[in-house]
Structure 1
Amino acid sequence: MRALSRWFLAVALGVTAGAMSSGGAQAGVETPHVSQGTSISWRTCGERLECARVPVPLDWDRPRGRTISLAVIRHLASRPDERIGSLFVNPGGPGQSGVGLVKGSGNDLDAWGDGRFDIVSWDPRGTNDSTPVRCFRTQRAAAAFFKGVTVPTTSRASEEYSRKVAAEMAKRCGRVSGWLLPHVTTADTVRDLDHLRGLVGDPKVTYVGFSYGTFLGQTYANLYPDRVRAMMLDGIVNPVEYSRGAEARIANGVSASDEVFDQFLRTCRRAGPRDCALAGGDRTPEQRMRALFKRVRQEPIPAPALNPKGSLTEGDLLVSQFEPMRTPATWPGDAADLRAALRGDASALAAGARPLLTPEAWEGVATSTAIQCADAGARRSLREWPSVIGRFKRVSRMQGPVNGWWLWAPCAEWPVKGQDAYRGPWNASTSAPILLIGTRYDPNTPYASAVRSQRLLGNAVLLTHDGYGHVSYQDPSACVERARVAYLVDLVTPAPGTVCKADQRPFGLGLG
């Protein structure tokens, strides 16, 4: 699954029984008739690939009103004579491109279903090549706004600046896309998914969701419990905390990130200096990291090889660890980069952080924020940022403050509420068992969330992946792969309590 892992390596952010919102979607609702068509007009867009645009209502409660457009793609089954149906996939985010996923990794996903499914995905409403949320009228305006915007450090001045940026971004999103923002909830996207399911002719959905895509899947399961053929969710979002509000959503999402970083350091220590550059000598990896954080708080570390030249701030250091903690195969290189920064050259770490600090990345944050704020807004105002950001920092020193500024601060000033947000209950018994996959040391979707969802859902089996990283295939396991194919093709679930070890431990420590 290397191609699939490479595609997800480009993902910048992951995510982290309530009452229904007023006027929200109701469990067991019927998808309204859509007059725009009853089939999809596919066109060839690559080898075994077909693409289309599908109109859907802006507001599913007004099916004959204004429409928006979804970008849809499918990878045709490699064994068409034995085709079972369509396998819908959502890569997470929220806001990541399903079209991009299938274009980049269609063959890998085809193997997940043993070649017997058309792999279907789409860019969810409000994102990418579907009708998008825009916060600026031109790319030039966006680039000008985000130019120079950085991750705040511990200084009060930088945090005040970040507060102003968040408030202004929220205002501009409302000004440009106020007509769309109330209709980008996950429940709206679930109704889009169910409409697509009907258009491809499947009586029940076969679905795979990663990270935020597991929240989408759990929402579908609770709205349409009788329409599930198979649903595999990997990297489980706690639906109760996600839908409770921005504060609970972010705190839960980052709650395991420090533990994963500590595991990185412990595993490094066990590997020793031959395999981990932070190990060996008169200091432990933990001591070296404390020294690095102390140094970068005092002053930025030069990054002379960066083009253009620059330096590494404390915020940059935190951001530089987002992707490595999601991807254990990169741990040896990350350890070497951290050791180089200790020696005074932070070029590699700064280069790793830079792609997440571009105007394009900030626009991606705005899209993700639009969906999350529509699902459940902030409960506290932006004026209360010192206590809110302080709480996030206490939950996670590694990811709490950054995610707070990226995802909570704009939500605290968000100009509209989601019109049809679904906030529970989350305990539906589906027509077929759901397969949940939880990784022991996942920095973005804690293993505890997988346990919670298994207990909530009325018909779900939890497969524990004894490994590291965000979603199971980042730390490959032949055991997980066998279970995945058996479930999607033959509808066979693993025995309750099944644990699959990763094939290899980080830093080359041998078989799991």
Structure 2
Amino acid sequence: MGSPERVTTPPRGAVKMNRMVIPKALVCGVVLVSALVTGGCGAAQRQASGPAAAELVAQADAVATPRIAWAPCAPPIRDLDCAVVPVPLDYANPTGPQLTLAVTRQPARDPERRIGTLFTAAGGPGGSGLEWAAKGELFSGELSERFDVVTFDQRGVGRSSAVRCFPDSTAQQEFWRTLALPPTDETQQRATEDASRRLAAGCERGDGALIAHLTTVDAARDLDLLRRAVGDRQLTYEGGSYATYLGIVYGTLFPDRVRALQLSSLIDPVAYTTDTRAHIAATAVGTEEVLAEFLRLCAAAGPSRCAFGATGASAAELRARDLALLEQAKPAALPVGTGPDAVSVSYGELIQAHATLLYDPVRGWPALAVLLAQLELGPAGNPAVVREVLGAVTMSEDFLDSFVAISCADNSLPAQPGRWPEFAAQSDAPVFGPFWLYLRQPCATWPAPATGYPQRYTGPWTQHTTAPALLINNRFDPATPLSSAQRAAEALGTARLVVVTDGYGHEPAGPCVTTLRVRYLVDLHLPAPGTTCTTDRTPFTG
């Protein structure tokens, strides 16, 4: 029996990793979906509390179950089945306009022992499950034997009915290429505010009807249609990062339709929906905390294992050197190399590289160390290596459009774009707070429907699922800090939280995590309260 872990990591955030020629090459590993027949679940099932939740569920149950016509996927997806599934644009109008979901399936490799379907989703929001599928098999080992594994592109994303905010790809690329995130002076602040207004207006022109129906509640109701379509009585679901919020919403709305929810790298649903600034602040503080660990462990490893290290240098000394590079990059991009092959790294690129490379302690952390060392070398540095590192963490423009559209549909940010400089100045994380905040500035001018978002759900979040959810979080996560996981566990009430006590990065991993995950998803076995894990993914040990 092969390893039961994922063989290709589903996308968990705003990161695109490619293979790189650096020590212990960094590969894609950080950054996840005809005729109609009647169906649905009976009204006698226990639903989430509150009339708003009951109405959301009733609207979903009024939709006929779609029939999935599986066929072999076209390249670049190989050896998997694909389908396009129609779902309502607006669940309040179930017979009105439809949109489509792109779905892919890895059939169970031991059909005689098949349990059902394991649904898994990409993070972000805005990550593409089908992009993940194009990299190879979705799961290996026991999970691949016992389940059909199904992933998909959420509405607004990728090959599903996707957000379109620009007239063409050239305009899209130019917009994101020239945008300074985060801005470092008043001129850039005015430019980003203007850009946020233009982006919001462009998304409304591109498909105003679609962006009115991109909440995670809409996605959760799509997921319930997919569950019904594959014939499963209850949902088995695995998701990380933003996809944990999708799982939480599903479990809250459809508790009796849940077989298992395994959620890793948790979003706090209360802050995410009702106090988005607090959610952003928690993320930024977590990124700062993990950066401090990166510098501490780099100093301990020394220059033989960490390219940014120096013999006898302390973590405080490395921190001072890192801050010096960031300050130098604010007024002007930092050059590496000379002549026509030279490359310049802007402040925004450097902040983004920090934030995203910290996701992966095994490959991303060494890459960040290499980047910082090359920036210190300046004209004597190797521009090819710098290009490789920066190319590996590029946020795709399609991802950014979808990230903004879905985030703005769910958020509670004030409609005051001119106050973003004030909000940034108030951050407890002065390096990363503005970065995570300004990514969402378009939400301040977002074209909400005249009726608002009646389908947006803000709690309560107490789960009454048949089996409690299994939550797993690293102690040091740069995007979904442990504090968020603890608040999510408290909000859900019955969920079981496992902490990887020496875990770094945005994906819990290692034999302990794998065993707990597989035994829960296959056997519905929950670890004892207070269970912790350790990991073999230790930074700077290669």
Is the structural similarity TM-score above 0.5? yes
**C-alpha distance in structure 2 between counterparts of 1:239 and 1:307, whole Å:** 49
Give yes or no for the alignment of 1:498 onto 2:531.
Answer: yes
Give yes or no for the alignment of 1:32 onto 2:65.
Answer: no
**C-alpha distance in structure 2 between counterparts of 1:2 and 1:271, whole Å:** 29
Normalised by the length of structure 1, the TM-score is: 0.89
Aligned position for 2:444: 412
**C-alpha distance in structure 1 between counterparts of 2:339 and 2:251, whole Å:** 47
Q: 1:161 offset after TM fit, Å?
A: 1.2
**C-alpha distance in structure 2 between counterparts of 1:426 and 1:92, whole Å:** 20
Residue 86 (structure 2) aligned to one of 30, 44, 55: 55
Aligned position for 1:91: 122
CA RMSD of aligned residues (A): 2.8
What does 1:1-400 align with in structure 2 at a 5 Å threshold?
Answer: 1=5, 3-5=7-9, 11-12=15-16, 26=55, 29=58, 31-35=60-64, 38-45=66-73, 48-107=79-138, 109-111=139-141, 113=143, 115-281=145-311, 283=313, 284-297=317-330, 299-304=332-337, 309-330=342-363, 331-344=365-378, 345=381, 347=383, 348-349=385-386, 351-353=388-390, 361-391=396-426, 394-400=427-433
Q: Is the 8 A contact 2:60 2:221 kept in 1?
A: yes
Cα distance change, pair 351–152 in 1 and its aligned pair in 2 (3 A): farther
Local SS of the residue matching 1:328:
coil
Local SS of the residue matching 2:178:
coil
**C-alpha distance in structure 2 between counterparts of 1:149 and 1:456, whole Å:** 37
Aligned identity (percent) is 35
Local SS of the residue matching 1:178:
helix
Q: Is the 8 A contact 2:189 2:421 kept in 1?
A: no
What does the per-residue CA deviation read over 1:29-77, in whole Å, with 9 as the maximum and x for residues that have no partner? 4633434x54211111165411111111111111111111111111001
| Residue identity matched to 1:69 | T
Q: 1:104 offset after TM fit, Å?
A: 2.4
Stretches of structure 1 that go unaligned for 5 or more consecutive residues are: none
Cα distance change, pair 132–356 in 1 and its aligned pair in 2 (3 A): same
Q: Is the 8 A contact 1:182 1:419 kept in 2?
A: no
**C-alpha distance in structure 2 between counterparts of 1:270 and 1:143, whole Å:** 41
Q: 1:143 offset after TM fit, Å?
A: 3.3
Stretches of structure 2 that go unaligned for 5 or more consecutive residues are: 17-29, 33-47
What does the per-residue CA deviation read over 1:305-356, in whole Å, with 9 as the maximum and x for residues that have no partner? 7986431222221111122200001223321321221121373446533566
Residue 506 (structure 2) aligned to one of 453, 457, 470: 470
What does 1:406-485 align with in structure 2 at a 5 Å threshold?
Answer: 406-407=439-440, 409-416=441-448, 417-466=452-501, 467-473=503-509, 477-485=510-518
Aligned position for 1:487: 520
Cα distance change, pair 388–83 in 1 and its aligned pair in 2 (3 A): same
Q: Is the 8 A contact 1:32 1:63 kept in 2?
A: no
Give yes or no for the alignment of 1:507 onto 2:511.
Answer: no
| Residue identity matched to 2:106 | H
Cα distance change, pair 230–180 in 1 and its aligned pair in 2 (3 A): same
Aligned position for 2:42: none
Q: Is the 8 A contact 1:78 1:110 kept in 2?
A: no
Normalised by the length of structure 2, the TM-score is: 0.85
Q: 1:213 offset after TM fit, Å?
A: 0.4
- Greater mean deviation of Cα atoms: 204-213 or 24-33: 24-33
What does the per-residue CA deviation read over 1:290-316, in whole Å, with 9 as the maximum and x for residues that have no partner? 332343345432133798643122222
Q: Is the 8 A contact 1:301 1:341 kept in 2?
A: yes
Aligned position for 1:403: 436
State the number of aligned residues: 496
What does the per-residue CA deviation read over 1:178-224, in whole Å, with 9 as the maximum and x for residues that have no partner? 11111110001100000110111100000001100000001011101
**C-alpha distance in structure 2 between counterparts of 1:291 and 1:139, whole Å:** 36
